[in-house]
Amino acid sequence: MTTDKYAVFGSPINHSKSPKIHQLFAKQTGQNLEYTAQEVNAESFAKSVTDFFVQGGKGLNCTVPLKELAWQFANEKTNRANSAKAVNTLIKQADGLILGDNTDGVGLVRDLTLNHEIELRGKRILILGAGGATRGIISPLLDEKPECLIVANRTVEKAWELAIEFNHSFSGCGFDDLHEEPFDLILNATSASLSGELPPISQHLLAKNGICYDLAYGNEPTAFVQWGKAQNARQSLDGLGMLVEQAAEAFFLWRGVRPETKAVIELLNSARQN
Ligand code: NDP
């Protein structure tokens, strides 16, 4: 029996948890596959992806800074990839064409609604940041029918441009423009946490019993998770669950089998507490 080959490409990639997650999924579902992490930058992307698939690779994940390049590379794209203009999952199809998908948004929504039982319908949601991650989560969040969705960004023009691109299905603004009613859910989709920083937001923005969620994650609580706890958020969560859920969706696209995520999230959580 041949072992099917998968990988994650990105830079930096040495701390990626994806190989561990996919090994756990493969073991759990009895799938025979290998999943490696490869340091690939924007310059080497096209050649590395082409070589990978020519050498028999079945599927790839692409992470920072390659998601927009992966979107351009794919022969065919799903609606959610086109809405995000970013691809984190490439699939080699039976006809040899490469399909690009974006599983980040569905991963976030599954983590919020299934793992944490957070209701999104009718809720006021604020996203901080207007980069690649925000592009991927807007449509899946809007599908949940929140009362309102606002994207606030340090560079306000990027938030405005994003709102125009999404036909004003949400409002874009700067951090200083947030003077309205508090929000039930604040999602930090900036990369500020990666350098231990906090986006400049007022404590009045979080509703009583509101929830904070940082898409970033680390071995210690991120600056934004700590901020949420200090505001007495009902829950203040990081993006480890989203990471596992987006991986599970990619695994499902590749193998046609949906792995159980709960045990994998628990295992990664306990590993970082030790
Ligand atoms: P991008 O580089 O595309 O965007 C970064 C965003 O962060 C921009 O909006 C930028 O604002 C903003 N920003 C950066 N530093 C600061 C700061 N100090 N204060 C305020 N805003 C800041 O990154 P991504 O969108 O790809 O990733 C964002 C985060 O989401 C990362 O932490 C990443 O790890 C996480 N992520 C997690 C996933 C998961 O599975 N859990 C999946 C995908 C992403 P400006 O436009 O002004 O520069």
Tens-digit pLDDT profile for residues 218-239: 999 999 999 999 999 999 999 9
Position 204 scores a pLDDT of: 94
Pairing mode, if any, of strands 183-188 and 206-214? parallel
Mean pLDDT of 8-21: 95
Ligand 1 atom at shortest distance from the alpha carbon of 67? 26
What letter represents residue 96's amino acid? G
- Average pLDDT of the chain? 96
Residues 6+ apart with CB under 8 A from 151: 127, 129, 130, 134, 138, 159, 162, 163, 170, 171, 172, 173
Tens of pLDDT, residue by residue over 105-131, are: 999 999 999 999 999 999 999 999 999
| Domain spans of the chain, in order of start | 4-102+241-273, 105-238
Q: According to CATH, what is the number of the domain 4-102+241-273?
A: 3.40.50.10860
User: 4-102+241-273 and 105-238: same fold?
Assistant: yes
Distance separating alpha carbons of residues 229 and 213, to the nearest angstrom? 11
Q: What distance in angstroms lies between residue 189's CA and the mean position of ligand 1's atoms?
A: 5
Token digits of residue 164:
């125009």
Alpha carbon of 190 to ligand 1 centroid (Å)? 3
Summarize pLDDT for 249-263 with one digit per residue, the tens.
999 999 999 999 999
Report residues whose beta carbon is within 6 angstroms of any ligand 1 atom.
64, 104, 107, 129-134, 153-155, 158, 189-194, 197, 199, 215-217, 239, 242-243, 246
Residue 160 near residue 141 (C-beta atoms within 8 A): no
Residues pairing with 89 in the sheet: 61, 101
CATH code that applies to domain 105-238: 3.40.50.720
**Where residue 179 falls among pLDDT bands split at 50, 70, 90?**
confident
Residue 180 has pLDDT above 80, yes or no: no
pLDDT tens figures, 42-95 = 999 999 999 999 999 999 999 999 999 999 999 999 999 999 999 999 999 999
Give, using CA atoms, the residue closest to atom 31 of ligand 1: 191
Whole-number Å distance, alpha carbon 96 to ligand 1 midpoint, is 33
Judge whether 67 counts as a catalytic residue.
Answer: yes
Structure confidence at residue 274 as a pLDDT band (50, 70, 90): low
Instruction: Give the model's pLDDT for residue 169.
Output: 95
Report CA(197)–ligand 1 centroid distance (Å): 11
Average pLDDT over residues 95-101: 97
By DSSP bridging, strand 148-152 and strand 124-128 are: parallel
